[in-house]
Amino acid sequence: MERLKVNLCGIDMDNPIIPASGTFGYGYEFAELYDINILGTFSFKGTTKDPRFGNPTPRIAECSSGMINAVGLQNPGVEKVIDEELPRLAKCFDKKVMANVSGFSVEDYAYTCEKLDKCDQVGWLEVNVSCPNVHGGGMSFGTSPEAAAEVTRAVKKVTTKPVLIKLSPNVTDIVSIAKACEEAGANGISLINTLLGMRIDLRRRQPIIANKMGGFSGSAIFPVAVRMVYQVAGAVKIPVVGMGGVSSAEDVIEMMLAGATAVEVGAANLVDPYICRDIIEKLPETMDKYGIKTLNEIIGGAH
């Protein structure tokens, strides 16, 4: 449907809906439930240079309006993703996919991005400098403008495809970090990743998660995400992908009014695996309700 189409960093998308990394696996699991080609695209599971088993269990804690996770970037490593996961995905998804990349050094990020950049299936590289639940990497690169810019420059040197830097909300000034990434050559900004959260078991009097703290996601963080998307979209000239607590067509429109060109849906996929399909199907009706002809016309409309 033409009225749902958007363009993200030069690539046309049938709609702006993107299942977020870490909530949609490598896609083919959800393809058993519905035709995932209905999606704009999706961001696959965070991939690192080397295989990772992830954090010790328990890794998940429930909250009244969300969840806390400390999975710890469990993945088979970039070589296996390219050799095994992407060919399997190609059997059920015929669009460009967004590759989500994490690392523990600037060299790690550059190595993994360079490998994935050569894959025809990959349309965008979403570089995660914001993972709050691994030690010695991830968020440490996303909490200062200088470090985020250093990763951006290193990745841009070895890639040809659009690079989106995924930012952490666990900072005092997200705008300065976004602007530093833009100046370093980023093609877009993704935000927000999870907030840092914690739950304590009252009987054991110990943290529920073995990692003690983890990423807090779900509908409770939506207002924080909207605020940060609004701030960043008003400060940079590159596209913004908004996420954080999105679970309805109304949420998608609100994110786009804040300045998002596309919108990722994360924790809601773990509650309802059909949520992205249902949001896409509901969008035209919701647009009619608010007098919206095309989604393109509302991007940044609240500024």
Catalytic residue among 9, 113, 131, 181: 131
Cα distances from 92 to residues 14, 22, 26, 86, in angstroms, run 17, 19, 11, 10
276 is known as an active-site residue: no
Q: Which residues of 231-270 are buried (b: 16+ CB within 10 A; e: fewer)?
A: bbbebbebbbbbbbbbbbbebbbbbbbbbbbbbbbbbbbb
Measure the CA–CA gap between 111 and 275, rounded to whole angstroms: 34
Structure tokens at 300: 């940044």
Helix or strand (DSSP H, E) at 216: strand 214-217
Closest CA to 126 of 24, 220, 14, 53: 24
DSSP at 296: G
- List the catalytic residues: 131
